[in-house]
Amino acid sequence: MKAEVIAVANHKGGVGKSFTAVNLAAGLARGGWRTLLVDCDPQGNSTSMFDPDDDVELDLYDLIREGAPVEKVTRKTRIDGLELIPSTLAVAKLDQELVTMHRREERLAQALQPIYTEYDAIVLDLSPNLGQLVITALNAADALIVPTDATIWGRRGVNMFLEWSAALREHQVLSAQLLGVLLTMYDPRTLTGRETLNGLKSDGLPVFGTTIPKRVAAEAMVTNRVVIGDVEADPDLAEAYANFTVEVMTLIDTARRNRGKHHA
Ligand SMILES: Nc1ncnc2c1ncn2[C@@H]1O[C@H](COP(=O)(O)OP(=O)(O)OP(=O)(O)O)[C@@H](O)[C@H]1O
Ligand SMILES: [Mg+2]
């Protein structure tokens, strides 16, 4: 079976995309799904969670631009069942360089195609922009997760991002199912937090039942390269991301069953 390609995307910066991509990927792997995490952001935040030594030889740039074989670009991580395609600053050049490449939207999907059956899920961590690499990554996706911080501007940002992505759908560049909006950095004691959650629902958007609490400990997890399933993980964040992972697995299983019926 083909891996489910899950894009974690939002053009708003600092909303927890990378933290979510990394912990979802770790959660899926620890739940028994063979998982590949693809860092599609030249900031390399997902990469640095698993590749602390900065000794990346081949990265997403080499895969997409130089035609490096995908097996050579893929690296093991310390977590069983989780592999990584890293990113370095070179990936920043892709936004410009893809523009002149033939069938640019399909480049990531084509590059990953040889290994599609080797994984159950491929998680894409996207950059905070609406550039060509984001478009190319969205084109490869079967499923879309949009994290947002629990603020008024966060809610506005989600709606703007989805409006922009609707144009990609019209042009058949994007076909991914919106799995849901994930509320991150959520504090249910604040009015803004509660209003954002209710606002997103009243916008008619699918919102994950799990919300991710705002915890200072997130920063320590990043600093110490800790993910869910590690004993050092913050218990509240670990519980939230574990529940979120189960939600994602269930939604994907359902989507796959429906697609199966559709094709039957
Ligand atoms: N639930 C949380 N509570 C508190 N802080 C968080 C939480 N999740 C993530 N953070 C912190 O917020 C910061 C931004 O998170 P992250 O890098 O995942 O966002 P991003 O959307 O990927 O950012 P960018 O748009 O730059 O790629 C990180 O420093 C992280 O430690
Ligand atoms: Mg990020």
Decide: 241 in ligand 1 pocket, CB within 6 A: no
Measured in angstroms, how far is the CA atom of residue 219 from the centroid of ligand 2? Answer: 13
Measured in angstroms, how far is the CA atom of residue 92 from the centroid of ligand 2? Answer: 14
The pLDDT, as a whole number, for residue 244 is 98
Query: What is the domain-level CATH number for residue 208?
Result: 3.40.50.300
C-alpha closest to that of 22 among 79, 89, 107, 91: 79
State the closest ligand 1 atom to the C-alpha of 128, by its place in the atom list counted from 1.
25
CA distance 264 to 259: 9
For the chain, the domain total comes to 1
CA distance 23 to 32: 14
State the closest ligand 1 atom to the C-alpha of 21, by its place in the atom list counted from 1.
18
Measured in angstroms, how far is the CA atom of residue 147 from the centroid of ligand 2? Answer: 11
Decide: 180 in ligand 1 pocket, CB within 6 A: no
Structural domain harbouring 211: 4-263
Decide: 218 in ligand 1 pocket, CB within 6 A: yes
One pLDDT digit (tens) per residue for the chain, 264 residues: 999 999 999 999 999 999 999 999 999 999 999 999 999 999 999 999 997 666 778 999 999 999 999 999 999 999 999 999 999 999 999 999 999 988 999 999 999 999 999 999 999 999 999 999 999 999 999 999 999 999 999 999 999 999 999 999 999 999 999 999 999 999 999 999 999 999 999 999 999 999 999 999 999 999 999 999 999 999 999 999 999 999 999 999 999 998 888 765
The pLDDT, as a whole number, for residue 57 is 87
